[in-house]
A = this chain, B = another copy of it.
């Protein structure tokens, strides 16, 4: 048992090192101009609702610019952020292709330009253009990988490790090397950060304080910077 456990831990470490984990901030998955060819451009103001949980999905949305957030509510009524969709990602493709209801609420968290692709056009594109099916498969696989690793991490890792993993994930997507630190050029709200780690904000603040005190991270104008990547990864 221990040997397999060690294999697993080594695998986990290697994987983190290679930044193969998919954060729940989805970006840059869909390339080319096909969403423009098939859909209609729609501009949504900050706070506009895109979909409500429990309703049928009759279209998917390609994020041209801006940001969509999917969320739900806990039984005590607290909002929980599930995923963030930025430029070059598609939300509700899987639900739309499979004619399912959505599980989540979705809204624009900033002014956002979307390409709205109705089911009939998405289905046509998926069934006639291998570039489309390949790119959608990559996007849905990324969502699958992100939720699988979140599930696994909730069951197997400490809150402290999960926070470090999110910082590693963010730096793999948004990291910019500077002398002595890696700046994360994306401002993740504390609420989303806590939700992504599966902890409450109080716990998050305590862990971030500990990381700052140990000189592992610093916060620069509201952005996180990693000063000791080794400590984040191990």
Instruction: Give residues in A with beta carbon < 8 Å to B.
Output: 1-2, 4-5, 7-12, 14-15, 18, 20, 52-55, 72-75, 77, 79-80, 82, 94, 97-98, 100-101, 103, 105, 126-128, 130, 133-134, 136-138, 140-141, 143-145, 147-152, 154-158, 195, 198
Contact = CB atoms under 8 A, between A and B. Distances in A.
Contacts of A94: 137, 141, 144-145
29 contacts: A2-B77, A4-B73, A5-B73, A8-B53, A8-B72, A8-B73, A11-B53, A11-B54, A15-B54, A15-B103, A72-B152, A74-B155, A75-B156, A75-B158, A80-B152, A80-B155, A82-B151, A97-B141, A98-B138, A98-B141, A100-B145, A126-B130, A126-B134, A126-B137, A140-B140, A140-B144, A144-B147, A147-B147, A151-B151
A151 B70 CA distance: 14
Contacts of A97: 137-138, 141
A188 B187 CA distance: 44
Contacts of A8: 53-54, 72-73, 105
A80 B198 CA distance: 19
A3 to B, nearest CB: 10
